[in-house]
Structure 1
Amino acid sequence: MKVPDSRITAFSRYTLAFNDGFEAPVLDTSRWLPDYLPQWSSRAATEARYTLTGDSLILHILDDQQPWSPEFNGNVRVSSLQTGVFSGPIGTKLGQHRFTPDCIVREAQEPVRLYTPLYGYFELRAKCRIAPHNVAALWMIGFEDVPERSGEICIFELKGGNVGAHQATIGYGIHPFGDPALVDEFYEEAFALDVTEFNTYAAEWTPTAVHFFINGAHVRTIDQSPAYTMQFMLNLYDLENVPSAGSEFVVDYVAGYEPMGR
C-alpha cells in the first residue's frame, strides 16, 4: 500500500481513512463515482475516460468524447472521479456545485456518500502532461444537501497555459459559491517544480483554518474553514473542445486522514 507523506503534519492526531494507490485492475467503485456532476446532465454523458496501469490512474480526454453539458457549460469536456453525489428532483435547482444560476437538474441522483469527511489532512501525488486548453485539479466540495453547504477547498489546480520549463503556476484556496460564511480566497502562485514529474499537493483542513502544502513544504494558511462534510473531485478538463489525446493527468495516489475519534 502506498503511504502518504507523514512528515507534513502531526499524524498522531489523525487516522488514515481513505487511500487509493490505483493498484487494482479496475476502478474501486466503493471509493469513486466515475461521473462528473451528473445531475446537470446525465451519467452516460459525464462518464470519465481513464486508464488504470496497475500502479496509477490516468485521466484522459479522448477525441470521440463529447462536451459533458452543452446546455450549461458549452464546449467543455471533462473526465472526473468524485466521492459523492446529491441532487434534488428533475427540474429543480438543487444539486452539487451549481456553477451557474442556469443549472437545472436534468437527471436526478440518489444520494451517495462514498467518502465525505469533516476535517483532516488530504494529499494527492500526481504529474501532468497537459496542453494550454486543459486544466487538472483536485478540489473538495460541500455535499450540498443544503445549498449553503457549497464551499470549495481547491487543493490543486493546474492550467496548461501556466506550465513553464522549470516552474508552474499552481492554484489553490477557497471559493464560497453559496456559503455565506466564506469569502473568496484563491491564489495562483509560481513554484519551481516540474509538473511532468510526480509532486505532492496537500491540505490540512481544521475547524478554523486550511493549511496548504506542496512537496511537503507549507505554502499558505487560510484562516477560514467550511463547517460541513465535503467530497473529492478529481478532474481533467478540455475547455475548448479541441484534440486532447496527448493530455494526461497521472495520479499516483489520493489519501485522506481524519481526526482521531471522529
Structure 2
Amino acid sequence: MVHRFDGPTLDTAVWHPHYLPAWSSREATRASYRLEGGVLILKVPREHPVWCPGDHEPPLRVSGLQSGSWSGPVGSTRGQQRFREGQLVQEEQPRFEGWLPTGGRVAVRARMSLSQRSMAALWMSGFEDDPDQLRCGEICVFEVFGNALVREPPSAEVGIGIKAFRDPALAQDFAAPRVGIDVTAFHTYAVEYDEQEAVFSVDGAVLRRCPRPPTYPVQLMLAVFDFPEWSTGDDDHLVPELVVESVTG
C-alpha cells in the first residue's frame, strides 16, 4: 500500500479525521487539515479547541487522523487509548476499520514545524477491541518534541520503540536517540516488524531494534500537538504543522 495525499479530498475509507472522539465528540475532536500540492497539512491553529478540557492533564490541543475507530455505548468504559481509570464514553463511535496492519513495513515521509510547546508523531496503537482491552500496546514510528530540537547544526531527538501501557505481554522499550536531521525538511520515518522484532529507521538508517512487538491489529495515529502550559509567554501566535507526503505499508 502506498497512500498519497494528492487527491482533492481526504480518503475517508482509510483515514478518520478525529482524535479519539469517544472521550469527547466527533465535532470537538475534528482535525484542522488541508490537502494542497500533493501533501496533507495538519495544523493546530490558535482557535483550535483544547481536547477533553478539564479532564486530560496536561491540557493539549491536537489535530490528528486515525485509521481505525470504535467504542462501546455512552457511559461505558469501552473505548480506545483511555487515559485514566474509570473513563467513560461520551459519544458512541461506529466501528471503522480503515487500515489495521499486523506486521510488515510502515513508513511515513514527512516534515514538521514545531515550537518549544509542540510535538508531532506517528504511532500505531492496538485496535483494542478484545474483551479485556489488553491489546492496547503501541509501536511508535516517530515522536518529535519541539523543545528537544537543536537548530545549529540541526538535530532532533526521535522517539521510537514500543510502549506497553496495559498489555502484560509487552515490555516497555522506548527511547529517543538524537539524530542529525533537520525536521523541517522531508525525511522517511519507518518501522519494519514481525512477531520477533521491530526495526526502526530514519531515511533507511537503523536506529533501534526492539524484540517482540505487538502483532495484533493496530491503527495508525498521525497527529500534531500543542501544549499551552508549556508556553514561554510570547508564542501563542505560533502554529505547529505536520506535512505528510505519503504513508506506505
TM-score (structure 2 length as normaliser): 0.92
Change (3 A) 1:159 1:244: farther
1:45 to 4, 17, 28: 28
User: Do the aligned partners of 1:131 and 1:244 also contact (CA within 8 Å) in 2?
Assistant: no
1:131 aligns with 2:115: yes
The answer for unaligned runs of 5 or more in structure 2 is none
Per the TM alignment, residue 205 of structure 1 is displaced from its structure 2 partner at its CA by: 1.5
Change (3 A) 1:130 1:33: same
Per the TM alignment, residue 244 of structure 1 is displaced from its structure 2 partner at its CA by: 5.4
Q: Identify the residue that residue 195 of structure 1 maps to in structure 2.
A: 183
Per the TM alignment, residue 135 of structure 1 is displaced from its structure 2 partner at its CA by: 1.0
1:54 to 37, 46, 49: 37
State the secondary structure of the residue aligned to 1:70: coil
Distance 1:216 1:52 in 2: 27
Per the TM alignment, residue 245 of structure 1 is displaced from its structure 2 partner at its CA by: 4.5
Change (3 A) 1:246 1:239: closer
What is the CA deviation profile of residues 164-221 of structure 1, one whole-angstrom value per residue up to 9, with x for unaligned ones? Answer: 1211111011111121100111101111111110111000110111110111111111
Q: Identify the residue that residue 153 of structure 1 maps to in structure 2.
A: 139
2:48 to 39, 59, 65: 65
1:34 to 17, 22, 26: 17
2:244 to 239, 246, 251: 251
1:151-230 pair list within 5 angstroms: 151-165=137-151, 166-230=154-218
| Corresponding letter in the other structure for 1:109 | Q
Distance 2:166 2:92 in 1: 21
Per the TM alignment, residue 72 of structure 1 is displaced from its structure 2 partner at its CA by: 2.6
State the secondary structure of the residue aligned to 1:161: helix
What is the CA deviation profile of residues 137-188 of structure 1, one whole-angstrom value per residue up to 9, with x for unaligned ones? Answer: 0000000002111000000000010111211111011111121100111101
Per the TM alignment, residue 71 of structure 1 is displaced from its structure 2 partner at its CA by: 3.8
The answer for unaligned runs of 5 or more in structure 1 is 1-16, 257-262
User: Do the aligned partners of 1:76 and 1:238 also contact (CA within 8 Å) in 2?
Assistant: yes
| Corresponding letter in the other structure for 1:139 | W
User: Do the aligned partners of 1:238 and 1:244 also contact (CA within 8 Å) in 2?
Assistant: no
1:227-238 pair list within 5 angstroms: 227-238=215-226
TM-score (structure 1 length as normaliser): 0.88
**Number of residues paired by the alignment?**
239
Distance 1:247 1:179 in 2: 32
Distance 2:115 2:106 in 1: 27
Distance 1:202 1:72 in 2: 33
What is the CA deviation profile of residues 73-129 of structure 1, one whole-angstrom value per residue up to 9, with x for unaligned ones? Answer: 252110000000021111111111112224211111111101001111000111111
